[in-house]
Structures are given as C-alpha cells and as structure tokens.
Amino acid sequence: KDAEYNLKNMNIDKAMMLFRECMESEFNSIKVNTGIAMCYMRKGDNYRAKEFIDKALHIDNEAVTANALKKDLINLGLYSNENRVSKKVLSVITVLFIIGAICVGGYSIYTKVSLNNSISKDSSLNTE
C-alpha cells in the first residue's frame, strides 16, 4: 500500500524501493511487478517496464493492469506485431496454395480432356 501511495504521489524512487522489498517476499508478485513496471514507465525507462510487465503476464496472462500497460508499450512500439504478421503471412500462403492447387487441377483436367479427344480422333481415323 505504501508503494502504491508513493507511486500515485510521484515519489517514484521511494515507490520503487518499496515495491522491490515486496518483491523479495513474493507476495502478490503480479501487483508488485506491475507496480515496478509503472515506476519504470514514469521514469521513462520503457524497456525495463516491459521486462516487469512480461513477468506479471507470465504469472497471469489475464492481469488487467499489466495488459493495459502492455497495450501502452505496444503503441510505443516496444512489442513487435509478430502474431499479426505471422497470421497474415500464413493467410497469404494458404490462399496461394489453394490457387495453385486449383490451377494444377484445372490444367490436369484440361490435358486429360484434350488427350481423350485426340485419342478419340486417332481411333476414329484408324477405323476408317
């Protein structure tokens, strides 16, 4: 509680010290890691903030405050959009594969029909 109070009152260094003391006891480590992340964000050290947000989310991926802070860091470009990019790439590859399969299938059907027509013409010529 003291750490949160100091954080709200912009006593960042004092809040950081108190959060670190709480961290040693591992009591409510999600809140502690999130609090430390907030301290680093207020100090402008977003890379260190990311480290503690990741720790909090590793414990509970649904932690509301940690996810809100993560969203802020995403907007600042600290998290890559790997998942979005990989889904787009996978979608494009899938579409290209389907188009390729349709083209190959269509070509093979066309060549069989052409081959059957030429065989039919050849056999009708041979019977005459």
Q: Which amino acid is at 74?
A: I
Is residue 36 within 8 A of residue 65, CB to CB? The reply is no
Residue 40, helix vs strand vs coil: helix
Position 116 confidence tier, pLDDT thresholds 50, 70, 90? low
Please write the tens of the pLDDT for every residue from 18-74: 777 777 776 678 888 898 898 999 888 989 999 999 999 998 888 899 999 999 888
Please write the tens of the pLDDT for every residue from 69-114: 999 888 888 776 555 556 677 778 888 888 888 887 777 776 776 6
Report the alpha-carbon distance of residue 117 to residue 122 in Å, rounded. 9
pLDDT for position 54: 92
